[in-house]
Amino acid sequence: MTSTKTNVFTDPRNGGRAVVTGATSGIGRAYAIALARLGYRLLVTGRRHSLLEAVAEEVRQAGAPTVDARVIELSDTSVVDALCSELARAADTEYLVNNAGFATGKPFFEDPNGNDRMNTVHIDVPMRLMYATVPGMERRGHGCVVNVASLAAYLAVPYASTYVASKAYLIALTECVSLEVDPSIVRIQALAPGYVHTDFHRDGLIPDRERRSRGLIRWSSPEAVVKHSLRCLEKNQVLSVPGALNRILLGVSRITPRSVLYATASRRLRRRYRP
């Protein structure tokens, strides 16, 4: 998806850098490659060294002028402190993708430490990275922020309480902050995909037999999700929900009585996760 157009909002300006967290696979990897094709310098982070190095090579091959690949544990506040200080000083970030995240599928009361880590990675880190980069974007006159949330944020999902709640927070934060910036300079988006073919579920959150499209459920590719996100940014659409059926499901969920949603979630997901 190499861009040859001028005055395209998502194109880099003035040699800008893109920062993508959680870039080792899935949406993060696809976003890093797409931004490399647009001509951004890349800083990509992840926790798995071998996968991150492979992505860095893909990003180089896709056309990124420079690639900085860093193995980072974003639940470590001291590491995030250093990264945010560096980004704020450099003030050269034009595109930020807050993609890092995880889920456990554990009961809420059995995993307090995991829930705390999840809130750090899903809420605190995106906020801090926005603090570190958006003022520089405003001074440079151009920037984009994509906070990767989930369509699950609009549902009630047992055994994913903190995941769902943190993604709902991220969507609300994004929508509110988008009203505080000039969209002709900085655009901020909440990306809320449905089911995506990634290794996010490698720990068994969704069995392999269920990872297929059926009925109204459609699985997307990471590349299709990123393409939709970029298209929405060009139109200054703050909420990006890839997939027509996902948008229909979102609309239906908003008018369906919550008691019906609770019953549906309980039947399907309690059966899946209960020992």
The pLDDT of residue 123: 99
Q: Which residues contact 115 (CB under 8 A, 6 or more apart)?
A: 108, 161, 162
Q: Tokens for 154, please give them.
A: 């609009």
The pLDDT of residue 269: 58
Beta carbons within 10 angstroms of residue 67's beta carbon: 19
The pLDDT of residue 204: 46
Closest residue by Cα to residue 206 from 259, 165, 150, 261: 150
Q: What is the pLDDT along the chain (275 residues), one digit of tens a residue?
A: 444 444 489 999 988 999 999 999 999 999 999 999 999 999 999 999 999 999 999 999 999 999 999 999 999 999 999 999 999 999 999 999 999 999 998 999 999 999 999 999 999 999 999 999 999 999 999 999 999 999 999 998 889 999 999 999 999 999 999 999 999 999 999 999 988 877 765 554 555 555 554 555 677 899 999 999 999 999 999 999 998 888 998 898 888 888 887 887 766 655 555 54
Q: Which residues contact 208 (CB under 8 A, 6 or more apart)?
A: none
User: Which residues face 239 on adjacent strands?
Assistant: 190
Is residue 110, in this structure, part of any structural domain at all? yes
The pLDDT of residue 79: 98
Domains held by the chain: number? 1
Beta carbons within 10 angstroms of residue 49's beta carbon: 11
Is residue 232, in this structure, part of any structural domain at all? yes
| Cβ-contact 224, 183 below 8 angstroms | no
Determine the Cα–Cα distance for residues 268 and 160; give it in Å rounded to an integer. 13
Is residue 6, in this structure, part of any structural domain at all? no
Is residue 4, in this structure, part of any structural domain at all? no
Q: Tokens for 92, please give them.
A: 């050269």
Handedness of CA 24, 25, 31, 35 (dihedral sign): positive
The pLDDT of residue 3: 44
Closest residue by Cα to residue 96 from 146, 22, 158: 146
The pLDDT of residue 92: 97
The whole-model pTM stands at 0.90
CATH assignment at residue 105: 3.40.50.720
Is residue 12, in this structure, part of any structural domain at all? no
Is residue 7, in this structure, part of any structural domain at all? no
Is residue 2, in this structure, part of any structural domain at all? no
- Domain containing residue 143: 17-273
Is residue 124, in this structure, part of any structural domain at all? yes
The pLDDT of residue 9: 94
Residue with tokens 């554990």: 106
The pLDDT of residue 5: 46
The pLDDT of residue 154: 93
Distances, alpha carbon 132 to alpha carbons 175, 201, 236, 256, 265, in Å: 19, 31, 22, 39, 38
Question: Can you give the three-state secondary structure of the chain, one letter per residue?
Answer: CCCCCCCCCCCCCCCCEEEECCCCCHHHHHHHHHHHHHCCEEEEEECCHHHHHHHHHHHHHHCCCCEEEEECCCCCHHHHHHHHHHHHHHCCEEEEEECCCCCCCCCHHHCHHHHHHHHHHHHHHHHHHHHHHHHHHHHHCCEEEEEECCHHHHCCCCCCHHHHHHHHHHHHHHHHHHCCCCCCCEEEEEECCCCECCHHHCCCCCCHHHCCCECCECCECHHHHHHHHHHHHHCCCCEECCCHHHHHHHHHHHHCCHHHHHHHHHHHHHHHHCC
The pLDDT of residue 271: 55
